[in-house]
Structure 1
Amino acid sequence: MKVDRIFLDVHGLRTHALVLGRGAPLVVVPGLGCASWMYLRVAAALADDRRVYLYDPPGHGYSQGTASFPTCIEHLTDHLAAWLVQAGLVGTPVFGHSLGGEVTFDLAARYPGFCTAVVACAPTGIPENPSVPVQLLRLLRDLPRERAALLVPGLRAYRHCGVRRMLRLADDQTAHDTGPLLGRVDVPTLLLDGLSDPVIQSWTVQAIRTAIPDAVVREIAGGTHALTDSHPRAVARYTLDFLEAIER
């Protein structure tokens, strides 16, 4: 399948995205330290029905960042909102994985009308998430459960992002007050829960579901933290069915 590459200038930062597929647009927001190329498997599963934009946040993938930007989750959200304007994609459903899910909640709450739906896959988003060291230990537990073929592109993405930026963004989860924000998410919301994910456990997903009125949860048996890579077809099917139902 043909994959295009676009670069847009967003507040002086050259911002990259991969684009593939056909149909109505869907924007994919990656997790902490992750990059567009890590989401090609799920994008391919979505691409028969959607034109998929694999967006690289600033300082991630092939998008520029600076030493002082981004250093917090709100920076990521503000840049995503500005990129949606530049790309002509305001009013598009957004799909966020892990920390990208928390960014999509923030977008829906602070930028009304910028997205029509949220799909959050293995999302962070509640302050009760454990400390950064505990999250890192959980990631180490998760690594043997992921596809071996994800290791090299994943390490390449982490190297591009850099350890310092990743740690600052991860640490900001404790300061990012999602309590009031989640209650302001007023677009249709789908939460995808991998039942074998040691990083974002089911109680976290259920707590987010309680906080967001009318959110829908779909569970994926055997799903790891990198659900988009380990179970791309299941993720795509739940996502497409959800979007079809709300767009009728």
Structure 2
Amino acid sequence: MTQPALTFMAPVGPAGAPLLVLGPSLGTSTILWEDVVPQLATRFRVTCWDLPGHGVSRPATAPFTVGELADAVAAGIRELGAPALYAGVSLGGATGLELLLRHPDVVTAAAIVCASPKFGDPAMWTERAAQVRTQGTGSLVVGSAQRWFAPGSIERRPVLTGRLLHALRDADDASYALCCEALSQYDVVPRLGEIATPVLAIYGEHDAVSPEEHARTIADGVRDGRMIRIDDASHLAPAERPDEVAATLNEFFGGAR
């Protein structure tokens, strides 16, 4: 296994403000957060990172674990000026939990958004990896649209949702497959009790990938956890309900500084 190379965007926000790092979901890019960032950058110095082979990050050249993604994020945070606040969606949220376990010194509070301490059956991820290697990420677009967005979300935000689905299609096939294989090995349920950093588990009302019970497992499992629902959202809440997500994060991180 190898620590992957990740690209962070230049931070935006007031110089000297607390650093806030935002992580992506599988198949997306920093586009996921673009309507939330301006609302956070009034109080925080905000940066986003891209998964290997997604957005502007280089493709992966070797297998990696979610823990090794967290190692790469920790290295980026240290370069930008640790400690930081952290929020991540789906795989980005899983990376956040691993970050809290492996590098608790670099994060002072974390929001785990539309994510799980374990994502379903490992065989599902190995099968999806095989599908992408043979058919490409474009073969996932229809199914992902159904999982990612709540009823009415695509109609409410057609341009942004279209860009997110294009980001999925444009992701590097091999890197996406390696992300799937990393998720097939990911399971932090037995270790949640080791996390002492304040955690907010955020879930979307219609999210079948990371439903309420997964958020509850996180909030109840860590030592200092709470949870909150974003109404009329599914798995990509920051894109579907940016104002609600931004307000939730501003309140949580404002109290955690």
Query: Could you say whether these structures have the same fold, taking a TM-score greater than 0.5 normalized by the shorter chain as the test?
Result: yes
Q: What is the 5 A alignment of 1:133-172?
A: 139-143=144-148, 145=150, 146=153, 147-172=157-182
Q: Which of 191, 198, 202 is the equivalent residue of 1:188?
A: 198
Aligned residue number for residue 80 of structure 2: 87
Q: Which of 48, 55, 66 is the equivalent residue of 2:49?
A: 55
Q: Tell me, what secondary structure is at the counterpart of 1:116? A: strand
| Structure 2 unmatched runs, 5+ | 129-139
Q: How far is the alpha carbon of 1:128 from its aligned partner?
A: 4.2
**In the comparison of the two structures, how many residue pairs are matched?**
234
Query: What is the aligned-residue RMSD (CA, Å)?
Result: 2.5
Q: Tell me, what secondary structure is at the counterpart of 1:66? A: coil
Instruction: Answer yes or no: is the 8 Å Cα contact 1:139–1:199 preserved in 2.
Output: no
Q: How far is the alpha carbon of 1:127 from its aligned partner?
A: 5.1
Aligned residue number for residue 118 of structure 2: 126
Instruction: Answer yes or no: is the 8 Å Cα contact 1:190–1:215 preserved in 2.
Output: yes
Q: How far is the alpha carbon of 1:38 from its aligned partner?
A: 2.6
TM-score, with normalisation over the residues of structure 2?
Answer: 0.80
Aligned residue number for residue 34 of structure 1: 28
Q: Tell me, what secondary structure is at the counterpart of 2:106? A: coil
Instruction: Answer yes or no: is the 8 Å Cα contact 1:57–1:80 preserved in 2.
Output: no
Change (3 A) 1:102 1:151: same
Q: Tell me, what secondary structure is at the counterpart of 1:223? A: coil
Letter in 1 for 2:87: F
Instruction: State the percentage of identical aligned residues.
Output: 24
Give the number of the structure whose residues are more often strand, by fraction: 1
Q: How far is the alpha carbon of 1:221 from its aligned partner?
A: 1.5
Aligned residue number for residue 249 of structure 2: 239
**For residues 121 and 112 of structure 2, what CA distance do their matches in structure 1 show?**
16
Instruction: Answer yes or no: is the 8 Å Cα contact 1:36–1:61 preserved in 2.
Output: yes
Instruction: Answer yes or no: is the 8 Å Cα contact 1:29–1:95 preserved in 2.
Output: yes
Aligned residue number for residue 197 of structure 1: 207
Instruction: Answer yes or no: is the 8 Å Cα contact 2:59–2:172 preserved in 1.
Output: no
Q: Tell me, what secondary structure is at the counterpart of 2:9? A: strand
Instruction: Answer yes or no: is the 8 Å Cα contact 1:101–1:122 preserved in 2.
Output: yes
Q: Tell me, what secondary structure is at the counterpart of 1:117? A: strand
**For residues 183 and 138 of structure 1, what CA distance do their matches in structure 2 show?**
34
Instruction: Answer yes or no: is the 8 Å Cα contact 1:41–1:229 preserved in 2.
Output: yes
**For residues 144 and 122 of structure 1, what CA distance do their matches in structure 2 show?**
12
Structure 1, residues 126-147: CA drift from partner, whole Å, max 9, x if none?
254673369x786342356333
TM-score, with normalisation over the residues of structure 1?
Answer: 0.83
**For residues 223 and 176 of structure 2, what CA distance do their matches in structure 1 show?**
31
Q: How far is the alpha carbon of 1:188 from its aligned partner?
A: 0.5
Q: Which of 7, 25, 31 is the equivalent residue of 1:15?
A: 7
Structure 1, residues 42-99: CA drift from partner, whole Å, max 9, x if none?
1122122222111223332112233215x331221111111112222x2111111111
Q: Which of 62, 71, 76 is the equivalent residue of 2:69?
A: 76
Structure 1, residues 154-182: CA drift from partner, whole Å, max 9, x if none?
23432443233223322332312313332
Letter in 2 for 1:181: R
**For residues 144 and 188 of structure 1, what CA distance do their matches in structure 2 show?**
28
Letter in 1 for 2:247: R
Higher relative contact order (CA 8 A, sep 6+): 2
**For residues 51 and 226 of structure 2, what CA distance do their matches in structure 1 show?**
26
**For residues 89 and 207 of structure 2, what CA distance do their matches in structure 1 show?**
13
| Structure 1 unmatched runs, 5+ | 1-10
